[in-house]
A and B are shown apart, each in its own frame.
Chain A
């Protein structure tokens, strides 16, 4: 009699499990919306010319209305348009920082855990040193040394962000290294590169991806904080942090210029967090 084979390869069950978590679905939808707005900014934004250099002093400080959805700022620029363009900048920041951190941190962490001995000690002590550097202070330092700019800010954040990924890759690899299937692969005669790439890496990917989605939110938060303090992007770049900083003085009467960028930050970071939770559920199904 033929035996029953249930549940073949595929992500269907993962999606099913993901969709059962209502909060993650909400979070991912918000994130999707923001991303779409960011990508389609030049076409969606009502006043694309307001994004950078346009000034329109006659229309400064208009409260939210049908004409200006989220009001105008101190230079008469439409806040909604600038928020959408700000989303572009922040999301790009998140992507660049994550790509650089993961490319540096994960291979280092895996090598440290897999080879052990001196390699492990060297890599992990360097990671410890980097862990002791506060990102904010470093960003300020770099902006003093070089000009404060968006690119330098991304550089500063990436410079230390890899340490978290190194740590997590290290811990996960250590626990996976002891599993019997690694021993079985060695017994079959696999060489080190095969074991690291095909045996260990697929097993730690899920935790790394979850951390990536959570870190995206924190990186954006860090970026806006640095810009808020003036060490990052320069005006008139429509970055959320700068927008909040420049309208600080006019609070609480002119609230819309600070509130709406803040709202965007909040929603973006929240949705990344919810996405992270959902991704955890998604990956846990596969190993069931």
Chain B
């Protein structure tokens, strides 16, 4: 089992006129070959920031990486030169959240995909790219490749879709196009940032199964960010639960959702209305202010089980059950 990605002790700060926001504070995530890892949490917990730091697209002022390493294919992304990093980044694919605004509205789908395919072929060199753009046979090859990809995402009549503008497609179709675009160049890792938030329920279902199919066929690994635990259940092999910039619990999906351990995870699971009609209860309080986060465990102001130690020292992550990790003093004997 080799790690495709290993994020170790990452900490990211944001500088603003109000001060320094400690948005991510020491998280460690690893993704193995062939597995889809879910990053679950609510708005403001730092999941998108994590994804953007991994992809290297976080705006660096005001953001700043305080500490930590990100290993991709056993190479530390922070220690290598920019040129080598760019080559490695070719293996990433990003599926953004909002299909409405993620495609350039003035270009047809075909032009967008063509551009990317030829760029990947030109291995990041601008002159090569400009030359390649003119070669007829390359363009034809690229168009065939693009329509192949569109077929793989189950879009009917791919040739006519290539000629359309994004505004002529519905949200679900656009999201599939984004998935196809992400598959250009056979990446090793995809990072999906809540891709189904803007979709209807039935379309969402189809899309999730599509991702599953692609993952299995191309042997992809993936980081899937969501706040919907039901979707995470279907798609992810393992889940990391994030709260206020820290990982509070992680483990295999079925184990974690059926038997949650951390008070926050339990609170989340209890707050979701269920078909069974069981009572649902909100979690009291609100997410902390990152300028002045609570000392010790960041969840302690909202926790029913808080103890003295929780407000002073942040708990370590320990393995409570086989491959089920929690960061909570309730389960940590070394108080």
Contact = CB atoms under 8 A, between A and B. Distances in A.
Interface of A: 1, 3-4, 6, 13, 16-17, 20
B140 to A, nearest CB: 43
B17 A13 contact: yes
A3 B302 CA distance: 12
A82 B275 CA distance: 83
Contacts of B301: 1
Contact of A4 (B17, B284, B289): B289
B286 interface: yes
Contacts of A1: 284-286, 301-302
Contacts of B286: 1, 3-4
Nearest first, the 8 A-B pairs at minimum CB distance are A1-B285, A16-B17, A3-B286, A1-B284, A4-B289, A17-B17, A20-B17, A4-B286
A4 B290 CA distance: 13
Main secondary structure, interface of B, reads loop
A17 B284 CA distance: 34
A20 B17 CA distance: 9
A20 to B, nearest CB: 7
13 contacts: A1-B284, A1-B285, A1-B286, A1-B301, A1-B302, A3-B286, A4-B286, A4-B289, A6-B289, A13-B17, A16-B17, A17-B17, A20-B17
Nearest to A16: B17
Contacts of B285: 1
Contacts of A13: 17
A91 to B, nearest CB: 32
Nearest to B286: A3
A145 B285 CA distance: 74
Contacts of B289: 4, 6
A168 to B, nearest CB: 25
Given A1-B301, A3-B286, A4-B286, 10 more contacts: A1-B284, A1-B285, A1-B286, A1-B302, A4-B289, A6-B289, A13-B17, A16-B17, A17-B17, A20-B17
A20 B284 CA distance: 38
A57 B17 CA distance: 59
A4 B301 CA distance: 13
Contacts of B17: 13, 16-17, 20
